Structure 1
Amino acid sequence: MTDDRPLQPTTVRRSVVTVAAATLGPESPLPRFTRLRELPFPDVGPGASPEMLERIGYGRLESPLPYRVQEDYDRSLCEVELPAYELDNGVLRATVLPTLGGRVWSLYDVVRGRELLFRNPVLQPANFGLTNAWFAGGIEWNVGSTGHTTLTCRPVHAGVVAGPDGDVLRLWEWERTRDLVLQVDVSLPPGSDRLYASTRVLNPDPEDKPLYYWTNIAVPETPGTRVVTTADAAWRTEYAGALRRVPLPHPDRPDVDISHPMASTFPADYFYEVEGQRGAHIVAVEPDGAGFAQTSTRGLRGRKLFLWGSGPAGARWQEWLCGPGARYAEIQAGWCPTQLEHDRLTGGASVSWTEAFGGVDLDPAAVAGGYAEACAAARDAVHEATHPDHLDAVHERWLAEVADAAVAEQLSTGSGWGHVELELRDAPATPALPFPPVDDDSVPARHLLDGDTDGLAKSVHRLPVPPVSDRWSAVLEEAPDSEWVHLARAVNAHVRGDEARAAAQYDASLALHENPWALRGLALLAA
């Protein structure tokens, strides 16, 4: 879509989002030693490659540690103001929430005169995240493991980078379950009706690590919504433990076309077979032809539709998450073909890709036509708006000119753990990804590394759940004994399954001072 108005330089400005929200509440002080939700090894049907099966069996996260669980949210909605940043080029306006994982809460197309995303009228957490609390709406950046990221309801660092086409909003954070660094650079070139997100995941350590990444996009859902991509088969899971390859668009019966999400009765995930496609994409479109599209460079091999379905269970969840009368579906893009897989990120390496998000306008006749016709129309519209050659060039330019550019202004901070983890490794922060010290639960860990026993003793109440990586376990073994150090050693042994060592350290903590954390740990071991 063209616009004849003069080009406006892209700016990033502070803003607020007013929304009816439940109270998140404090994080739990109790370490969680198992997954919040059991994920059985899937029963994979015929057609899976050996590489896919290997990735499914690799890298499963057994516990949310060292993160604390966020489970104390309530059901009382009150109007709140959330800090936000807006990117605006006069054509498109993106609103980002830095205290909630860098979620893109809104993407408003000024020329088309419509919101492109599902902008949730409420913010109601529910137990869908790796550390419990998760909320629906917008675009989220999921790194870590199968599920919604640990960063969902936590702040991330945000800053402005001077890009060749104007301000770039950089989001970055240290993800602690994997000790990986996530960087997302969000930009709006002058005059463009595409929002670009250039993303990099970095492994700061010499050892290989599991790699999981998915971008989740909530889009409005109506009885006429259609979701299409260039695929004639998908891997489906309906949460009963099976992963099956099914034909599209009729996986079960000829009268149920799942490219219309509300035609399905039950919730399901459909992971489209698009691996190897150049210009892979996914589109959600209404009967009048008004649609939203995501496309990316080759790095993101997976595309997915999540639907709640039209049955009572999905309707109840939609009402809980969004309030009465609001419905959404999710279109997604990921590093692996499905969300049950983890790849390997070699030591010291990084991976990157660029995504483009924006509106598309399809012929209503094509939208109402056969599946192949609708898919072809969507592909043509996406590639006309963002040709694969153009997107590759955008990504290469980002790598060359922006990815390692210094943050010109840090707008807000995430956690202090990036600073502490770099200190643990005796590694400097870079101007592109500064990790300043933050007055949060990382403070006791700073005192521990600095050998400041007095500072540690005065601040350990801020860190009831200790770090548990092998590097931190080694530090704790060398630290002077104290009630908290014994407890931290016990938690490290407990999560590794060394019950004798855990019990001995819980007892040692209790011998110095009776405390509920050690008593709970012993009770869990005895259960």
Structure 2
Amino acid sequence: MTASLTLASVTLPTAPVGAPNPLPAVAAMPQAPYEASTEGLPDAIAENIRYGQVTSIHPYLLQDQYTRDRAAASMRLAVLENDLLRAEFALGLGGRLVRLLDKASGRDLVYRNAVFQPANLALRNAWFSGGVEWNIGMRGHWPLTCAPLYAAALTAPDGEPVLRMWEYERVRGLVVQIDATLDSAVAALHVRVRVRNPHADETSMYWWTNIAVAQTDGSRVFAPATHAYQTQYDGSLAHVDIASPDVSRPAGAPAAADWFYTLDGSDLPWIAALEADGSGLGHVSSQRLSGRKLFVWGDTTGGHHWQKWLGGHYFEIQGGLAATQYEHLRMPGGATWEWTETFLPLQVDGVSSEEWPSAVEAVGAEVRRAAGATDASRLDPVADLDPVELLNVGSPWGALEAALATRYGAVFQSLPGVRFVAGDDEDARYWRELLGLASATDPDPTTAPASYVAGALWDRLLAEAPATWLTHYHRAVMAHASGDHARAAAHYEASLRQRRSAWALRGLGQLRMATGETDAGIAALTDAASLAPDLAPLALELGEALLSAGRAEEASGFLASLPPSTRDLGRFRVLAVRAALASEAADEARRMLEDEFDVPDIREGELSMSDLWRQAFPDRPVPERYDFSMA
């Protein structure tokens, strides 16, 4: 049955991600709601948890400018389809597999979100629920989950289509290639992932495939394991028996939790999610992707609120490179790792109420039978094919990193099956100019730089360029993000001597605050805000600094001076409540909280709203609207 690969779109109620926050992410990277303890863990897992920790998401900019106001908008898709399955990939959103339709049953195998609503769960903030997400590089939802990937249409020797997606991940310096095709004989989607470290030096590697599945009262998850490492959002990892008590029913989970299964060591890692009637989804892979996980939101007010906040009820089954999601692996310079994943519709009757051992045996037998009938070999001969027919263009950074390496005789060995484009977009124009790929311009210090870089070679390029306010500023940001405060201060000050800019003042202000020079830091942030009075993220940082310094009345006055369109934003309303409470204006704080407002980018695990409510109303329960607790 010949498949097709086409471009299409779907219209959804959408809250746009919006433009990136123009202020570079020099502060510590947003943390997950808990950190893992290594106490009592096997040495290999403990060492992987300690290795490869990331302190900054730089050089990426944060994506935190979205709201919760939704209007109809289209999502661009690449669609693989045959008589059995329809697979829809969102090319502008990290290549997310947003739909996998089983045509025989008319059922969506993965959770298909009916809205597009960003929320603050990813490393760059914006994330959305649903479908199958590819996560590479470092613990968390990867930096490109709400960004475009390159995509191309390929034709295999047997005439069947293959969708290729690829990008360059900038923190770890990795090239990732994802090839997808539908099986010719049975209902199955095959995905071949290939990751290369194109540099000479070792880097840290992380991968988890996150598969959202719609949750019902009858949902049950199976994996070939009797034990798992469990965490319940307090940092501990306990090795628990998953059959006693039985943790396989997501709807019955008492609270948000992760179970990282200790698989039986067989040559076919798998996990499956089935409904009460025995229908569902199986996920199998080659041995390299040996980790499996179940995530549930839990039967709590906060867990239900989070799911409504994101769009609907679901749980996740996942596959990863390591035993747990807290780990990073050592990837040598020049290394290429690859594996195959297959997504299968399943029907396993009579296991809904079976005890764990017999149910797993029955489901495993069907998974092996279904997987054995598939053939992913079509992906072998196309792995190195040049992607001639582009369907989508990603970022210029793979091309720019290659040009930078060539300039200085460094190693950058990309994958043969990918092609990066330097492009002509404004985001990276300045770097193309420094590399001699575009004619030079005179950057305006009143306009925020559009992008940032990291690494010794970029710093060398800036050092060799004529010294300007912008070269010094970029060198300051790189030093700041890497923790070299003295060098960062010197470059910020050098930049300000050449041209006064809100960007260098903001960086210097953040630096002074971080090193304990609070008054100097607030003064610099105040000067920065005066040069960019309409920039809400900068005003938010100043308000936060004033409150943190115990200058609550000054913070209240500053917030009152802002235009209503800024004051009404959720984060500013939180600042106003905090300032009122700190100024002993509790009645005003209570009034603001009772007005019931939302903070669109409230962070996973953040309890600011419930904490503020308890301060203002110690004798009243927290309203569901403000309850985001996950424990």
TM-score clears 0.5: yes
Map 1:105-124 → 2, pairs under 5 A? 105-124=98-117
TM-score under structure 1 normalisation? 0.92
Q: CA deviation at 1:18?
A: 1.3
1:366 aligns with 2:386: no
* Greater mean deviation of Cα atoms: 444-453 or 136-145: 444-453
Contact 2:15–2:69 under 8 Å retained in 1: yes
Q: Which residue of 1 aligns with 2:276?
A: 287
1:178 aligns with 2:158: no
- Of 254, 263, 270 in structure 1, the residue corresponding to residue 252 of structure 2 is 263
- Of 362, 378, 393 in structure 2, the residue corresponding to residue 377 of structure 1 is 362
> How many residues get paired?
505
Contact 1:275–1:301 under 8 Å retained in 2: no
Q: Distance in 2 between matches of 1:452 and 1:437?
A: 10
| 3-state secondary structure, aligned to 2:225 | coil
Contact 2:102–2:108 under 8 Å retained in 1: yes
Q: CA deviation at 1:525?
A: 1.4
Rg comparison, structure with higher value:
2
Q: Distance in 1 between matches of 2:355 and 2:397?
A: 51
For the structure 1 residues 436 and 451, does the alpha-carbon distance in structure 2 shift closer, same or farther, using more than 3 Å as the test? closer
1:479 aligns with 2:468: no
Q: Which residue of 1 aligns with 2:501?
A: 515
1:394 aligns with 2:376: yes
Q: CA deviation at 1:131?
A: 0.5
Q: CA deviation at 1:420?
A: 0.8
Map 1:89-488 → 2, pairs under 5 A? 89-165=82-158, 166-250=160-244, 254=245, 257-274=246-263, 276-322=265-311, 326-363=312-349, 365-387=350-372, 394=376, 398-399=379-380, 401-426=381-406, 432-440=417-425, 441-450=427-436, 454-455=440-441, 457=443, 461=447, 463-488=449-474
Structure 2, unaligned stretches of length 5 or more? 407-411, 514-631
Q: CA deviation at 1:462?
A: 6.9
For the structure 1 residues 275 and 36, does the alpha-carbon distance in structure 2 shift closer, same or farther, using more than 3 Å as the test? farther
Q: CA deviation at 1:451?
A: 7.8
Q: CA deviation at 1:45?
A: 4.2
Task: Calculate percent identity across the aligned residue pairs.
Answer: 38
Map 1:20-99 → 2, pairs under 5 A? 20-33=13-26, 34-37=28-31, 41-46=35-40, 48-99=41-92
Structure 1, unaligned stretches of length 5 or more? 1-6
Q: Which residue of 1 aligns with 2:485?
A: 499
Contact 1:360–1:382 under 8 Å retained in 2: yes
Q: CA deviation at 1:174?
A: 0.4
Q: Give RMSD over aligned pairs.
A: 1.9
Higher strand fraction (1 or 2) = 1
What does the per-residue CA deviation read over 1:19-70, in whole Å, with 9 as the maximum and x for residues that have no partner? 1111211101111121112576522343x32111111110111111110000
Q: CA deviation at 1:474?
A: 2.1
Contact 2:191–2:342 under 8 Å retained in 1: yes
Higher helix fraction (1 or 2) = 2
For the structure 1 residues 311 and 38, does the alpha-carbon distance in structure 2 shift closer, same or farther, using more than 3 Å as the test? closer
Q: Distance in 1 between matches of 2:153 and 2:491?
A: 46
| 3-state secondary structure, aligned to 1:466 | coil
Q: Distance in 2 between matches of 1:339 and 1:38?
A: 12
Q: CA deviation at 1:458?
A: 7.0
Q: Distance in 2 between matches of 1:248 and 1:199?
A: 30
Q: CA deviation at 1:375?
A: 1.0
